[in-house]
């Protein structure tokens, strides 16, 4: 069987062994889609990435992203991590790349110093969906009706992967979350209701410009994600539209023991950035197409 390069990275991690762990398989043109899905299921990470030759002339590489159950059109921490993995594999200390995903083309910038890097991703323009009744969701999370934010409504937003943003009144409420999964699935729906997105990004302000977040979805191993760039970007755009915010810093994954820091700049579109640590490089043997 063919052997492929493999990179493991901690994405949105201030220190190694924090953030959201990502596996990247390089040179994956000959890996069958079914094999990608099987490997992602066996790795049991939030997402697993595969780099292939771009089919769009503007793109540096094609990026395919798999959860344990599906291929995604776009995701944030895989995009950031894969750009760093590409830079490391090509010996680049810095670089500007364009990834090709099912949601289109996205620019990335990497500045690398050994096993540590800073990376930025320009996300697609935000698309705002409907405002949502947050009470069924908040109750399914084991929280009280009074935990709902008084002035910021729940709303769906997307830069490639729709997310239901649910603002809370107090960051302390995030620590009290105890998910009732049957009730959560009922509150989020089965995907047939386009007004509610499957991913639920629960947020609360710590201080001006600094927010805490938790992201829940039924198809993530364990039900919670440590760092969700596809939600952080739309959330930043949500704050920009409603409060005029030009930047936001987001802490996520703290309750999971995987603290993550995501930065969003809204001054010229949606620019997501964070710190990445390269954990390991190696090889993996997989069946060909």
Instruction: Tell me which residues are annotated as active site.
Output: 47
Kindly tell me the burial class for residue 133, based on how many C-beta atoms sit within 10 Å of its own C-beta (0-12, 13-18, 19 or more): middle
HSE of 92, CA atoms in CB hemisphere, 13 A: 16
Length of the chain: 289
Q: Are 245 and 209 in contact (CB under 8 A)?
A: yes
Q: Are 215 and 260 in contact (CB under 8 A)?
A: no
Q: Which of 125, 92, 119 is nearest to 227 (CA)?
A: 119
CA-derived radius of gyration, the chain: 18
Q: Are 46 and 96 in contact (CB under 8 A)?
A: no
């Amino acid at each position: 069987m063919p052997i492929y390069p493999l990179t493991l990275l901690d994405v949105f991690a201030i220190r190694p062994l924090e953030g959201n762990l990502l596996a990247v398989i390089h040179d994956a043109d000959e890996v069958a889609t079914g094999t990608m899905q099987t490997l992602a299921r066996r790795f049991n990470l939030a997402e697993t990435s595969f780099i292939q030759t771009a089919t769009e002339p503007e793109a540096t590489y094609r990026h395919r992203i798999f959860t344990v159950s599906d291929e995604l059109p776009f995701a944030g921490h895989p995009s950031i991590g894969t750009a760093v993995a590409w830079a490391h594999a090509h010996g680049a200390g810095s670089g500007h790349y364009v990834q090709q995903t099912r949601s289109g083309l996205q620019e990335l910038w990497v500045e690398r110093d050994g096993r540590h890097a800073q990376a930025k991703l320009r996300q697609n323009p935000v698309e705002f969906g409907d405002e949502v009744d947050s009470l069924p969701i908040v109750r399914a999370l084991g929280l009280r009706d009074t935990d709902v934010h008084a002035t910021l409504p729940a709303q769906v937003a997307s830069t490639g992967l729709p997310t239901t943003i649910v603002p809370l009144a107090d960051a302390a409420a995030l620590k009290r979350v105890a998910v009732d999964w049957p009730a959560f699935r009922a509150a989020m729906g089965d995907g047939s209701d386009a007004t509610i997105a499957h991913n639920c990004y629960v947020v609360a302000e710590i201080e001006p410009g600094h927010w805490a977040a938790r992201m829940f979805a039924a198809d993530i191993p364990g039900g919670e994600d440590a760092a969700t760039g596809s939600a952080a970007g739309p959330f930043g755009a949500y704050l920009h539209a409603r409060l005029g915010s030009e930047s936001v810093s987001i802490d996520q994954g703290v309750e999971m023991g995987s603290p993550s820091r995501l930065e969003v700049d809204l001054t010229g579109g949606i620019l997501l950035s964070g710190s990445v640590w390269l954990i390991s490089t190696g090889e993996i043997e997989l069946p060909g197409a």
